[in-house]
Structure 1
């Protein structure tokens, strides 16, 4: 039995049931082949306004449900994902351009997010406080009410569910706005998963749409918290709008993450780590290794081996088994990547691998002779491009690593992990991986960046998720009414 048929959701948004979208329809397109796979609904401000009212009404009953009931729904959602893994992976490959391994990773992590959120529902949600008066004083974490989640195209399943699942677990209703380019694998899939898991009508709604729907979601008076994942440019606009409406905005934004390769590494293994960090999922990950900072003593050998690995990778239709990399999401993204590569070569960088494309299939690319101001090094590429920058001292390395406003992830490769920690202490970053590359994600770990990469760790782990999706309420209780001199 299939999870759903794309015909069943054609031109619709999910309000607890599939209903026609007021904003019309848009094609669901395969970036690998250009084939139209179906039609997705496009939400507009009217859809958002109706969803806000519906969510606020439904949330009260959901919050009043026992934690056992909410946990059971989330556990069932995880099992639905596992039971329908092949179908979900198929959509991630067809619509999202994810190669088989990346599609499988998304499903496994998404199921894990559901199971971890189920455990979150039963966690302690307050603490007893000291008080100087004859009373009981305590704080408790209460649901914010309605949470708006705006998720991007690149890893749509994970980047939606990592907010949806914990927000539901602690008693909120959720309105999810997936990117219209991944309306099925980032939207319809989650709607059907939670419908089958038994989430009450109106508690989760899915409204694919563009900027107008996102703006309406941020402004809607029923939505009290916005969880946004996307570009830094768009995140600034979301944060500004949320501030005007006195709402919390959790912003997980872009990155230009460095992988530091020290002079004591084994180049063979280091180049494998670096290739994975830059080329996984066509580089379309916020944590992608955007800069390879390599000690001059091993730089020649590292570049040589990294280029060989890039040339050996198979790029092709994401639905074809054996394709290690699939397509980038659309022509606009491809052209942006290519402009940064060609601009870097014009600025003096040397192309060691890649730098070419067919359709939306961009070859993994290695650039050397790169400096901090080279376009592909100074800006987030969001494509399969590995710029290599040489350094000769730790002070020079730290200056290079800090020559960006981003601060999402840092990787350090060395035979002496304490050297890695010393570097981590000097490079502001929300995430640090010593003897690993920059891309990683676990439901149990806090996730987020500093600087232009966002507003800190707001996803993952009990503490971050509770802080993200609840309000702290102070409560006192006395045995008898207080007496005052008035």
Structure 2
């Protein structure tokens, strides 16, 4: 049997920053949203901790960038194997700390391993081009590590949304400052420290710094940081982007979404309703790709709403650590209050509550809203809760207009006739399009990102996007002898 990866004696009350050390900000409780139980205590960072970590990361990075690529790749492969070896223990933390159901936690550990295996290939990926030149020389463009990368990750998929940046950044020769969400500081932060420590990553290359907004600002503005990889809300992303621009840092922003699922006439109703329920209710709707708007052809609308209501009323909700449920808790009271305010505001504006709209503690029941107009809160806003707003359309042009309305452009799902779906896909601005799938999907080898207020484009995943995100392009020329100049 493998030893415990997350032995509390190792990390309780500590940060991981060039070893395990006390945080300047004291300690914070780790709480299970389903029960309120205290699961442990993590060290809390302050901006001073960041300003100590950043130059140490820069120092360690120089030696790491000079390390043979096969050695960097070996560390990533060992990390991937460790994610698999310790999956059950890590999944237990994801379930309890983030309120995830076990299959979602299993997806996270599987993806973290896949991120490492995929990133291992980046270490030996071609990193340049030979360029044409009018001079008597060789001219090349080569990719170089940026140096220090800051990763700011959210609570909803705490492992995936940090691993997808940490693994490729390290593989390409960078050091990383990780600021996990304080609500998921163990399964989104401490676990990375332990995995890479066990994998033999040299000291100083990964710093895990849980903290508040001030720590987030510090990991953006620290002088040694060159690139910031941020996943979170659009409002927070704007602040990160502004601060990054102020300090001339490259910021990659993967932000919110109010994603449309278009159900075309003739679509298989049962399969469409199943896809729609998964898209809206998976992980309590706390996903940037959640299906936030169901656009259903008028010929199917009433049946679709009825089928969605049937699913919503029979999906079990409860503590995912204590039994088989489909939905767990929302992350905290603030999130619950926001979700309920949007639902109740929509009903007050004339919308119909077809199912749900109730809660106990942090458990919000799967909710279906119909009888909507595009200006109602549940249609026009990102909800980040288990809410499925449904609106009918009559023509493809109307579906395009409704799907394209709004400032977000992350993920679009279209169910039904492929030819009609292709036309709609071409007409709706979106970073991701899925035909005959719902809106929630991701893989380590694909470019991921949105347009508009959903972010700065596909800067996550896949070799091309990761090279673009975590390296700089350098122009390099070579002559056989010193060139002659007129001076």
TM-score by length of 1: 0.99
Q: What is the aligned partner in structure 2 of residue 131 from structure 1?
A: 133
Q: 1: distance between equivalents of 2:373 and 2:280?
A: 17
SS of the equivalent of 2:427 reads coil
Q: 2: distance between equivalents of 1:91 and 1:28?
A: 10
Q: What is the aligned partner in structure 1 of residue 474 from structure 2?
A: 473
Q: 1: distance between equivalents of 2:486 and 2:465?
A: 44
Q: 2: distance between equivalents of 1:50 and 1:258?
A: 44
Asked whether 1:268 is paired with 2:292, we answer no
Q: What is the aligned partner in structure 2 of residue 439 from structure 1?
A: 440
SS of the equivalent of 1:221 reads coil
Deviations 1:116-159 (Å, cap 9, x if unpaired)? 00011111000101111111111100000000000000100000
Asked whether 1:63 is paired with 2:65, we answer yes
Q: What is the aligned partner in structure 1 of residue 80 from structure 2?
A: 78
Asked whether 1:11 is paired with 2:13, we answer yes
Shift of 1:324: 1.3
SS of the equivalent of 1:404 reads coil
SS of the equivalent of 2:116 reads helix
Asked whether 1:367 is paired with 2:369, we answer yes
Q: 2: distance between equivalents of 1:332 and 1:165?
A: 32
SS of the equivalent of 2:5 reads coil
SS of the equivalent of 2:475 reads strand
SS of the equivalent of 1:398 reads helix
SS of the equivalent of 1:95 reads helix
SS of the equivalent of 1:297 reads coil
SS of the equivalent of 2:430 reads coil
TM-score by length of 2: 0.99
Q: What is the aligned partner in structure 2 of residue 327 from structure 1?
A: 329
Q: Which runs of 5+ in 2 are unaligned?
A: none
Q: 1:377 to 1:7 in 2, by over 3 A?
A: farther
Tell me how many residue pairs correspond in the alignment.
Answer: 485
Shift of 1:8: 2.3
Deviations 1:411-442 (Å, cap 9, x if unpaired)? 0001x212111001110000000000000010
Q: 1: distance between equivalents of 2:217 and 2:85?
A: 35
Q: What is the aligned partner in structure 2 of residue 45 from structure 1?
A: 47
SS of the equivalent of 1:315 reads coil
What does 1:303-342 align with in structure 2 at a 5 Å threshold?
Answer: 303-342=305-344
Shift of 1:320: 2.2
Q: 1: distance between equivalents of 2:116 and 2:396?
A: 42
Shift of 1:202: 0.6
Q: Which runs of 5+ in 1 are unaligned?
A: none
SS of the equivalent of 2:283 reads helix
2:90 to 88, 91, 95: 88
Q: What is the aligned partner in structure 2 of residue 386 from structure 1?
A: 388
Contact 1:317-1:327 at 8 Å conserved across structures: yes
SS of the equivalent of 1:425 reads helix
Shift of 1:251: 0.2
Shift of 1:238: 0.4
Q: 2: distance between equivalents of 1:318 and 1:19?
A: 33
Contact 1:353-1:365 at 8 Å conserved across structures: yes
Q: 2: distance between equivalents of 1:307 and 1:31?
A: 26
1:281 to 266, 283, 288: 283
Deviations 1:201-235 (Å, cap 9, x if unpaired)? 01011101110000011110000000000000000
Shift of 1:372: 1.0
- Deviating more after overlay: 296-305 vs 12-21: 12-21
Q: 2: distance between equivalents of 1:443 and 1:44?
A: 32
Shift of 1:6: 2.5
Deviations 1:302-341 (Å, cap 9, x if unpaired)? 0000010011101110212311111010000001000000
What does 1:232-243 align with in structure 2 at a 5 Å threshold?
Answer: 232-243=234-245
What does 1:349-368 align with in structure 2 at a 5 Å threshold?
Answer: 349-368=351-370
Q: 2: distance between equivalents of 1:50 and 1:321?
A: 44
Q: What is the aligned partner in structure 1 of residue 456 from structure 2?
A: 455
2:26 to 9, 18, 24: 24
Asked whether 1:229 is paired with 2:227, we answer no
Q: What is the aligned partner in structure 2 of residue 423 from structure 1?
A: 424
Moved runs in structure 1, 4+ residues, more than 3 A? Answer: none
Kindly report the root-mean-square deviation, in angstroms, between the aligned alpha carbons of the 2 structures.
0.7
Asked whether 1:110 is paired with 2:112, we answer yes
Contact 1:239-1:249 at 8 Å conserved across structures: yes
Shift of 1:7: 3.6
Contact 1:56-1:173 at 8 Å conserved across structures: yes
SS of the equivalent of 1:156 reads coil
Q: What is the aligned partner in structure 2 of residue 143 from structure 1?
A: 145
Contact 1:80-1:193 at 8 Å conserved across structures: yes
SS of the equivalent of 1:141 reads strand
Q: What is the aligned partner in structure 2 of residue 181 from structure 1?
A: 183
Q: What is the aligned partner in structure 1 of residue 205 from structure 2?
A: 203
Shift of 1:162: 0.3
